[in-house]
Amino acid sequence: MTSLFEEPFPKALAVGTSPHRHVGGSGTSAPFSGRRDSGSGGHTGTGAASVNRLPVRNGGDDVLCLFLEPYGDVFWLKPGDEFTVLPGEGVPDPQFTVEMVKHRLIVWVFEGGDPAKVVVDCTVVDSGGNELPEGHQWPDGRSPY
Residue 7 has pLDDT above 70, yes or no: no
pLDDT at position 44 is: 37
Q: In degrees, to the nearest 5, what angle opens at C-alpha 44 toward C-alphas 106 and 85?
A: 5
In this prediction, residue 113 carries a pLDDT of 85
The model's confidence at residue 1, banded by pLDDT at 50, 70 and 90, is very low
- Expressed in angstroms, the distance from the first to the final Cα of the chain is 35
d(CA 51, CA 54): 10
Domain boundaries, the chain: 4-125
How confident is the model at residue 67, as a pLDDT?
95
Confidence tier at 68 by pLDDT (50, 70, 90): very high
